[in-house]
Structure formats: structure tokens, C-alpha cells
Structure 1
Amino acid sequence: MDIAIHGFWTTKAGDVNPQKTLTTPVSDSRFFYQLRHDSKQRQKLIIKILIDGQEISLVHDWLSNDGKETNFFDIPLKYRTKGEHALSFQVFAPVSEAADAGPGEKIYESEKFQLIFTE
């Protein structure tokens, strides 16, 4: 399966505008991303979102057949500090078909995107 995350953005999920570098105030906590894929069957994936190598969110997502999933994550206040940060995404297959199954094999890792917080 071919998977890619081309960037992230803030404001509204419907305003799809993936950025590799984003400058935003520390008051912005919600961000969006779009996972693109070529899967034609419904399957579950687990997405880890990391800032400066620290996991900040774990998203369980079901792939649709249109080739794109738009989702969001929140960055906790303790990670929203002024300056440059590295943001990345890791995609895993679940360890089982159970609804609460955790991450199994890593199948994709994004490039490191740049998030710059201002005051």
C-alpha cells in the first residue's frame, strides 16, 4: 500500500492546505493533516504523531475508498513552546482486528515537518 502525509495545517479541517513548515502562535493547539493512500479496502491504521521525537497523539483511523483521510490532533500546552519544533507522523498496522488493538508493524514514517511557535 502506498501512503503519504504531505504536511499539516491549522484553522479548519476543510481548508486543506498541507504545509511542510508552519509558523503559528503558541495559542494554536489544534492541527490537521491528510493521509493519502491507494487502499481500495476498508482497513484500520494507527497514526502516532510526534513533536521533537515525543509522542503527543495516537489516532485510530479507518481508511475509506476515496484515497484520503483528513484528521486532527491537539498539541498539549507543555509542547507549545516558542521556537522551532520537528513534527512527524508514523503509521502502523494494528496488532489485531480488535477495536482497541494497539500499534503493530510500522508501515510508514513521514519526513520531519517544521512547526515554529511564536508568542
Structure 2
Amino acid sequence: MADSSVPEFFERFPMPRIDSAGLDAELAVDDQRIVILFLWGRDCPNCDIAKRQILLTPERFQRRDVRWLHDNVYDDPIMATRFGLHGIPAFFLFHRGRKLGRITPWPGTDRFLEAVDRQVALTGAHA
């Protein structure tokens, strides 16, 4: 289902949707990039804040060393349970199938990107 509050988000910042059933296979892809799994919910005000801030400078988030995936946890509660979510948005970072950590709640653009930069440097992730 489309997001009604920021309906253009996934058109302006495209990323594949992944569900709980397909996540492990997607994370097993031999890829040198950091994978960011964006877990969000329809009509979630904090998710909308994150989406709007990403759309202000999408070029800062669309990086060659990062691959994005997303899932609406209201439509896929198994994903929320799997990651023990207590709030959204939540961003989980992975490298070569291993969970590196999570970013939640939305810390703002600069702090978010600093956290991603640290993980890229630590893992040597690249495109």
C-alpha cells in the first residue's frame, strides 16, 4: 500500500520493497555495499519526518556504497517482531549479511549520515 503522507517518497527515492520472507535471501547477495533496511509504517509521523528530510537532499543518501531496502511493518508485522521494534522509523545496517546495528529514532540528516559513514569506514564497504 502506498504511503499517504509522503506519497511521492518511493518514486523520488526508489528502493526495493522487501518482506520478512525474502530478507535473508536479499542479505545473502554477495555485495560489498552497506545495506540499509528502512522499516516504516503508513501514517507514521516520525517516518514522514525522516522521509521529508531524505527528500530535501536525496543525493546525500543515494550513495554507491549503500543499497537501500524498505518494508512497511504495519503490512508485515513479522518483520517488526523479528527486529523487536518498539518504534519506527528504524534503519538497520548490514554488511555481507551481518547486522551491524540500527539507527532509531530518526536522528536528523547529519547524524544519520555520520553513522553510515562510520560503518562504511569500519567495513570497507564499496560499490
TM-score by length of 2: 0.28
TM-score by length of 1: 0.29
Higher RCO (CA < 8 A, seq sep 6+): 2
